[in-house]
Structure 1
Amino acid sequence: MYLVNINTDKCTGCGACVENCPVEYLALEEGKATIVGDECQGCESCVAVCPSEAVSVQEL
């Protein structure tokens, strides 16, 4: 199981994390990335593409 953390202060709402998530775990709401999916698979593609380093993934 993985925990995704989005730092909304850093998030610019570019949508890169949303576009690159293979399981549709993230979405843009009110101009910021947010968690909408059921389970993160821990691939960290969102972390790799975030230009503002606003996303982190932690294994629980």
Structure 2
Amino acid sequence: MFVVSIDRDKCDGCGACADACPAGILGMLDDGKADITGEAEECMGCETCVATCPNECYTVTEM
């Protein structure tokens, strides 16, 4: 199982992570920032969010 975490203070709302996430668990909230909007346990641990985020907002850890 993988756990994805986001530092929303670093997020500038570009949406790159939400567009790239193959599991579809990331999305944009009304405040214009990204967050986990789907089922967090669906994270595949691929680290696409880490690779696409220009602000280094994400960490993915294996439990």
Q: Which category describes the TM-score, using the shorter chain as reference length?
A: over 0.9
Instruction: For residue 36 of structure 1, report the CA deviation from its aligned partner.
Output: 1.6
1:35 maps to which residue?
A: 36
2:25 maps to which residue?
A: 25
In the superposition, the TM-score normalised over structure 1's length comes to: 0.93
Bigger proportion of residues as strand: 1
Counterpart AA for 1:31: G
Separation in structure 2 between the aligned mates of residue 8 and residue 49 of structure 1, nearest angstrom: 15
RMSD (Å), alpha carbons:
0.8
Equivalent positions of 1:38-57 (< 5 A) are 38=39, 39-57=42-60
SS in 1 for 2:55: coil
SS in 1 for 2:13: coil
SS in 2 for 1:3: strand
SS in 2 for 1:48: helix
Q: How many residues align?
A: 60
In the superposition, the TM-score normalised over structure 2's length comes to: 0.89
Q: Structure 2, unaligned stretches of length 5 or more?
A: none
Identity of aligned residues (%): 53
1:58 maps to which residue?
A: 61
